[in-house]
Amino acid sequence: MSFRPSAVRATRAIVYTRSGEPSDVLRALTYKPLPPPPPNTLNIKFLLSPINPADINVIQGVYPSKPSLTSLVHEQPVYVGGNEGLAEVKQVGAGVSGLNPGDWVVMTKSQLGTWCSIRNVEVDDVLRVPRADALTEVHGATLTVNTPTAYNMLNNFVTLEKGDWVVQNGANSAVGQAVIQIAASRGLKTLNLVRNRPDFSELATRLKSLGGTEVLTYDDLADRNLTNTIVKDWTSGKGIRLGLNCVSGKDTTSMSRLLGNDAYLVSYGAMSKQPLSLPTSLFIFKNLTTVGFWQTRWYKTHTRQDKEILMQTLVDLVVQGKLKEPEHEILTIAAQDSDEVAGQKIRDTMAKLLGGQHGKKVLLRIE
């Protein structure tokens, strides 16, 4: 058995050249070391990059954010997968200030291609992550999509006071779990809705251990006694003013009936693949407002200072122990894996993710 010495270890990326099922079109590509970073760019090494559901839609070609073709040195241009990731600065180009080798950075430009080992990136496309002992690589790698989505949805639409309620579906999603924790950190109560399942009480216990107040299934919403009496009791008859939706379809129609006057229903996903269908009377007579939230747009429409404040806020929550690592597993592409082996690993993982309800977030580490 022989090792290639690390001095000559090449860089590697998970790439594709045409849209399609990720389990078909992805491959691993080893490319030659990059030149030193040009002015106002950074040479960064990715530590850990999530495989988010939206990444799959991007590769399928059905997501509004499109990646750009990238030339990795002498290779034909390719698309590099991945939108989110934590990287360490290795080298800074001329004119870069405020960022130094050893700093952690995350991407604030979408579809940069984070499933790779080493890239040169524009300094404006990344944000420094304040280091803290409590902040793990897993935390850092998941700070730019799900966690700020949860944070912003709780903050940007309705002014909520301690003790107020929020209702959400898909409560066991990564965003949902962040919602539970961030809401709890503010003294907000959460009514968490999930699909019915054999291990419901286990899941309910887990969500409550994160700080969730109550957990129900969508099926429970058919019970008018529950929605009219029990939920009213929980909320002391005060209408719930914020609903968060990543499901749509009929289960969200039922959820909307739990909302009180002047509520916002914020959608960030549609896992049912059904439209959002609501009685018009909720809008007219209960003054419901329905909006969407997309963290990608938030980055596009906010200043660097806004982004730095957001990042610091989220890191502070981690440091205070109020935001746990999401449940995850790590897929490692080892240095000694051939591109064939590495490509097969990623395609197999994608096939599993596409195949069904994969509870844990998968994070990619390219050694």
The site string for a second copy over 54-93 (x = CB under 8 A, - otherwise) reads ----------x-----------------------------
Q: Catalytic residue among 63, 79, 218, 268, which?
A: 63
* Residue 276 binding a second copy, by CB under 8 A: yes
What is the rounded distance in angstroms from the CA atom of residue 56 to the CA atom of residue 61?
Answer: 9
Return the number of the residue (2 or 281) whose C-beta is nearest a second copy: 281
Amino acid, res. 140: G
Q: Does 352 bind a second copy (CB under 8 A)?
A: no
Q: Cβ of residue 63: shortest distance to a second copy, in angstroms? A: 9
Backbone phi, psi, residue 177, to 5°: -70, -35
185 contacts a second copy (rule: CB under 8 A): no
Q: Is 159 in the site for a second copy (CB under 8 A)?
A: no
- Give the nearest distance from C-beta 154 to a second copy in angstroms: 17
320: its two tokens: 């205070």
In the complex, least distance from residue 293 CB atom to a second copy, rounded to whole angstroms: 7
Segment contacting a second copy by CB under 8 A, of 5-13, 15-23, 168-176, 275-283: 275-283
- Residue numbers 284-313 binding a second copy by CB under 8 A: 284-294, 297
Q: Does the active-site annotation cover 63?
A: yes
Provide the minimum distance between the beta carbon of 248 and a second copy in the complex, in angstroms, as a whole number.
5
- For 81, the token pair is 């997968």
Angstrom distance (rounded) from CA 227 to CA 323: 30
CA distance 69 to 177: 34
| Among the residue ranges 30-38, 44-52, 82-90, 267-275, the one whose residues contact a second copy (CB under 8 A) | 267-275
Pair type for strands 11-16 and 79-80: antiparallel
Minimum distance, C-beta of residue 128 to a second copy, in the bound complex (Å): 28
Region from 25-33, 191-199, 210-218, 271-279 binding a second copy, contact rule CB under 8 A: 271-279
Residue type at 170?
Answer: G
Cβ atoms of residues 347 and 24 within 8 Å: yes
| Subset of 19-58 contacting a second copy (CB under 8 A) | none
> What is the DSSP secondary structure assignment for residue 116, as one 8-state letter?
B
* Residue 132 touches a second copy, criterion: CB under 8 A: no
Q: Are 77 and 18 in contact (CB under 8 A)?
A: no
- The single-letter code of the amino acid at 174 is A
Scanning 34-42, 261-269, 312-320, 346-354 for contacts with a second copy by CB under 8 A, the matching segment is 261-269
Q: Does 226 bind a second copy (CB under 8 A)?
A: no
User: From the list 151, 218, 268, 299, which residue makes contact with a second copy (rule: CB under 8 A)?
Assistant: 268
- Sequence-distant (6+) residues with CB within 8 A of 270 are 246, 247, 248, 249, 276
Nearer to a second copy, 297 or 360 (CB): 297
d(CA 72, CA 12): 10
CB count in 10 Å sphere of residue 4: 10
**Residue 278 interacts with a second copy (CB under 8 A)?**
yes
Q: How far is the CB of 110 from a second copy (least distance, A)?
A: 12
Greatest alpha-carbon pair distance for the chain in Å reads 74
Report the phi/psi class of residue 321: left, alpha or beta, with left for phi > 0 and alpha for psi in -120 to 50: left
Q: Locate tokens 């439209």: which residue? A: 275
Stretch near a second copy under the rule CB under 8 A, chosen from 76-84, 92-100, 213-221, 277-285: 277-285
What tokens were used for 337? 């894996």
- Of the candidate residues 245, 314, 347, 362, the single one contacting a second copy (CB under 8 A): 245
Least distance in angstroms from the C-beta of 121 to a second copy = 25
* CA–CA dist 333, 249 (Å, integer): 38
The piece of 100-108, 118-126, 197-205, 263-271 that touches a second copy (CB under 8 A) is 263-271
Ramachandran assignment for 121, one of left (phi > 0), alpha (psi -120 to 50 degrees), beta (any other): beta
Q: Which of 32, 34, 30, 33 shows the shortest CA–CA distance to 12?
A: 30
Amino acid code (one letter) for 283:
F
Residues in contact with a second copy by the rule CB under 8 A: 64, 245, 248, 253, 267-270, 275-294, 297
- Catalytic residue numbers? 63
